Amino acid sequence: MSAFPPNFLWGGAISANQAEGAYDVDGRGLTKADVITGGARTVERKITYIDSSGQPGELRNKRADIPPGATHAVLPGYYYPSHEAIDFYHRYQEDIALFGKLGFKTFRLSISWSRIFPNGDETVPNAAGLEFYRKVFQECHKYGIEPLVTLSHFDTPLYLEEKYGGWNNRQMIDFYIHFAKTCFQEYRGLVKYWISFNEINHPLMIAELFREENEKAQFQAIYQQLHYQFVASARAVQLAHQIDPENTVGCMVAGVTFYPGTPDPEDILHNRYMWENIIYYCGDVQCRGKYPSYAKRLWDKYEVQLDISAKDLEDLAAGTVDMYTFSYYMSSIVTTHPNDDVVSGNYSSGVRNPYLEYSQWGWALDPKGLRYLIEKLYDRYSLPLMVVENGLGAVDEPAPDGTINDPYRIAYLQAHIQEMAAAIAHGAEVIGYTAWGCIDIISSSTGEMTKRYGLIYVDKDDVGNGTLERRPKQSFYWYQKVIASNGADLDQ
């Protein structure tokens, strides 16, 4: 018997900048992702620019701003994985047909903001961009697949970042709302599930785990940017409901399950604060419509002064989300004690958990952590939950006959789906699950193809070679069976 409700939304997920390619086609403008080079687990991606005297330059991605007066630029001699990605832009029909074959009930994708508004501050949208997504959504419906659309997935138009300072500027709220409203109106009847911002808490996670010397300035900027995004999201929720009462809008939080490293009360408290600082801060505002009490602790600690108007607070209260969506890949240990046995792998950076295994990229594999997270979130918000990212990034080696056997991926997905079923049996309302990178795409953190999540293999390497041919992996057939049985048959 299945633990999952009859209309459970099984599916897969991708984002525009990691899949579409066609970065300069049909009037699309640049985003930050287009000026970030390829990398690897041990080779950090670079961001490229031209400085004020016209000299090319590069900088480690995400760690600092480019020099004053410089502009981000695509430079000769560098490889930028987003430019072609897996060419979903031209191959979406083939890909969606494969998703149809898998039996997907939903497909999560994002709209590239700069396809619709190339600079971001135009009043009139780019018709070719609108048309592309219309065709994608229509194609989904051919197979009975409900699109689940993220409006902003790490790809603000570059022009908005450079001319206005991105989300440091309150004007961004209006640009975002114009974009969101255009999408809600254009795709009325085609899309009813929306996510306002992907992993909105991502900057908090990075700032907490990789502290910079000037942390007060860093947190001041992050909390202000987040405030504008909360208001933008809340206004978008209200608009979505006005335009079509069928619309369901979710927040999207990067979910990591934190455990205290020792029973020392200091660790217990520190662990609790990590949940608040990183996981709850955004969800509390977006689900409850107001800042939580512990925001005082955080704002005081970093001496933060925020631009928050009375109208903002009204909007936050009026625009709470309909569902809580989140990603989950790993758990992490939190301790105030020195410890030499550390692992480094994205959000798992920290103390090694002796009870867990780690992925080839150092991410802690912890299916029970998913159950723990779901139960905690449902207990806190009592809102429908959707797991919109979960999966294993691993190296896949095609066999000599071309087949791709990935029992490790099946084992990962199976264990996580089992724990999700246990959380549902516990009483949590989970309405959907979209496996991340259901077709191999560019890794967001490292820019590689080698780190594959897909149920469908894409023939492409880390520097752009390959035919881009699509091939179902062993996990494709397994997931097909899981969906057909509504999660009752998880056997390998």
What binding mask, one character per residue, do residues 200-239 give for ligand BG6 by CB under 6 A, x or -?
A: ----------------------------------------
Q: Does 198 interact with ligand BG6 (rule: CB under 6 A)?
A: yes
Please state at what angle helix 407-426 crosses helix 474-484, rounded to 10 degrees.
Answer: 20
Nearer to ligand BG6, 384 or 393 (CB): 393
Structure tokens at 429: 């309302």
User: Which ranges in 355-456 belong to alpha helices (H)?
Assistant: 367-381, 407-426
**Binding-residue total with ligand BG6 (CB under 6 A):** 14
The footprint of ligand BG6 on residues 247-266 (CB under 6 A) is 254
Q: Which is nearer to ligand BG6, 331 or 486 (CB)?
A: 331
Residue nearest to ligand BG6 (CB): 445
| Residue 153 CB contacts under 8 Å (≥ 6 apart), including other chains | 15, 16, 17, 110, 198
CB of 111 to ligand BG6, least distance (A): 14
Say which of 20, 375, 389, 419 is annotated catalytic: 389
**According to CB under 6 A, which residues from 375 to 394 bind ligand BG6?**
389, 393
Rounded-to-integer distance, Cα 47 and Cα 143, Å: 39
Q: CB 172: neighbour CB atoms within 10 A?
A: 23
Closest to ligand BG6 by CB, 28 or 108: 108
Residue 427: partners with Cβ closer than 8 Å, 6 or more residues away:
378
How near is the Cβ of 39 to ligand BG6 at its closest, in Å? 10
**Whole-angstrom distance, CA of residue 240 vs CA of residue 359:** 39
431 CB-contact burial (10 Å; exposed 0-12 / middle 13-18 / buried 19+): buried
Nearer to ligand BG6, 182 or 444 (CB): 444
Identify the active-site residue in 161, 199, 208, 375: 199
The site string for ligand BG6 over 437-456 (x = CB under 6 A, - otherwise) reads: ------xxxx----x-----
Shortest CB 307 distance to ligand BG6, Å? 28
Helices 171-186 and 215-243: crossing angle in degrees, nearest 10, is 30
In the bound complex, what is the minimum distance in angstroms from residue 465's beta carbon to ligand BG6? 20
Q: Is 327 in the site for ligand BG6 (CB under 6 A)?
A: yes
Strand 357-358 and strand 350-351: pairing?
unpaired
Q: How far is the CB of 450 from ligand BG6 (least distance, A)?
A: 11
Q: Dihedral sign, CA of 404, 391, 375, 336?
A: positive
Q: CA-CA distance, 34 to 21, in Å (whole number)?
A: 9
Q: Which of 456, 482, 434, 406 is nearest to 94 (CA)?
A: 456
Listed in order, strand segments (DSSP E) in 64-132 are: 71-72, 106-110
Structure tokens at 49: 């620019």
331 binds ligand BG6 (CB under 6 A): no
Look up residue 444 and give its two tokens: 């967001």
Q: How far is the CB of 365 from ligand BG6 (least distance, A)?
A: 14
* 389 included as an active-site residue: yes
The contact pattern for ligand BG6, residues 93-122, with x = CB under 6 A and - = no contact, is ------------------------------
Is residue 196 a contact residue for ligand BG6 (CB under 6 A)? no
Q: What are the structure tokens assigned to 324, written together?
A: 């809580």
CA 19 to chain CA mean position, Å = 13
Rounded least distance, CB 18 to ligand BG6, Å: 6
Residues 32, 215: contact at Cβ < 8 Å? no
Instruction: Indicate the residue among 127 and 395 with the shorter CB distance to ligand BG6.
Output: 395
In whole angstroms, how close is the CB of 447 to ligand BG6 at the nearest point?
A: 9
Q: Which of 199, 267, 375, 406 binds ligand BG6 (CB under 6 A)?
A: 199
Find how far residue 483's CA is from the centre of its chain. Answer: 23
* For ligand BG6, the closer CB: 218 or 445: 445
Q: Based on CB atoms, which residue is closest to ligand BG6, 109 or 249?
A: 109
Residues serving a catalytic function are 199, 389
Q: Which residues bind ligand BG6 (CB under 6 A)?
A: 15, 18, 198-199, 254, 327, 389, 393, 436, 443-446, 451
